[in-house]
Amino acid sequence: MAPLQLYCLPYAGASATAYLRWRRLLPAQVELVPLEPPGRGARLDQPLLRDFEALAAEMADVLCRQLERRAGPYVLFGHSMGGLLAWRLCHLVRERGHALPQRLVVSGCAAPTRRDPGRLAALRGDAALSADLRKHGGTPEAVFADAELLRLTLDVLDADYRVCESFRCGAVPPLPLPVHVFAGLDDPIAPADLHAWAIETRAGHTLDWFAGGHFFLHDSQAEVVGRLIACLDGAPAAGTGASLPSPAASASPVSPASLSPA
C-alpha cells in the first residue's frame, strides 16, 4: 500500500524545511514532503516571487510534478501564507485534471473571504519587517544576531508579504473535500475569520484550538502533530480548544485590524 503523502507549504519568511522536524513524530505510513517556494532552502538560487497567483501557479507546477511521480493518496498542509497557498493549490490541481487531496489542513490562517491584504502595505523596509518578526515570535534570536542570515530572512519575508498583499479572493466553488482548521488561542485572528472556512468546502470542516500565538505550531508541536495524525486518519474534531465565540457571536462587522494579513 502506497504511503500517504503529506505535502507541507511554509509560512511567510520561512522555508518548507521547517516541517522536517515533524518526521520523527509521524507514523511510518505518512511521508512528509516539503513543498519549497523559490528563493529559499534548496531553491535559494531562484528569484523570489511577489505575486500570489504567480507563486500559486509555480507551486501547482511543483505539486503536479510530484503527483505524476508518486501514486497514492495525499493531503495538503499549510500554515499562515502556506494555508492560503494550499487552498489555492486544491483549485489549481483540479483545473489541471489531477486528483484532489483527501483533505486540506490549514493552520493559523484566516479564510480566503476574510482577509485584508492591505494591512501589509505599511510593512516595508528592514526596520518594519524586523519589528514584525519580533512581534509575532517564532524567529530564533540567532537570526537577528547574524547579519547575513537576517538579510536573507527579511528579503524572503518582504517578498512573501507582497505575495499576501496581492491576494484577491475570486469566486470559486466549494471544495469536495474536508477542511481542517488549526488555530492558536492567543493568535489575533478573529474566530469569525476561522469559522468562515466552512463556506470553502461541501464535505465538512473542523476547527481545533491550541495553546500559543501565531506560531502555536511550534509552541504546541506535539499536540499539533497529534491532531494532524488524527485528521489524516479521518477522525472527527477533537474539541481541543477552550470556549470561544461561535460564528454567530463573531459575525458582526470586523474591523480591518482584526483580519489576518498573512
Query: In this predicted structure, what is the pLDDT of residue 248?
Result: 34
Q: Any idea which fold 4-258 has?
A: Rossmann fold (3.40.50)
80 closest CA partner among 188, 152, 238: 188
Query: In this predicted structure, what is the pLDDT of residue 121?
Result: 79
The cell numbers describing 68, all together, are 505524476
Residue 184 makes CB contacts below 8 A (sequence gap 6+) with 108, 209, 210, 211, 212, 213, 214, 215, 216, 219, 220
- pLDDT per residue, tens digit, the chain (262 aa), is 678 999 999 999 999 999 999 999 999 999 999 999 999 999 999 999 999 999 999 999 999 999 999 889 999 999 999 999 999 999 999 999 999 999 999 999 999 999 987 778 778 888 889 888 888 776 778 888 888 999 999 999 999 999 999 999 989 999 999 999 999 999 999 999 999 999 999 999 999 999 999 999 999 999 999 999 999 987 554 333 333 433 333 332 222 223 334 7
214 closest CA partner among 112, 133, 130: 133
Residue 16 C-alpha from the chain's centroid: 11
Query: In this predicted structure, what is the pLDDT of residue 116?
Result: 80
What is the DSSP code string of 15-28?
A: -GGGGGGGGGGS-T
β-pair partners for 210: 184
CA distance 18 to 159: 18
CA distance 169 to 109: 14
Query: In this predicted structure, what is the pLDDT of residue 138?
Result: 67
- Can you give the pTM of this predicted structure? 0.88
Cβ 86 vs Cβ 77: under 8 Å: yes
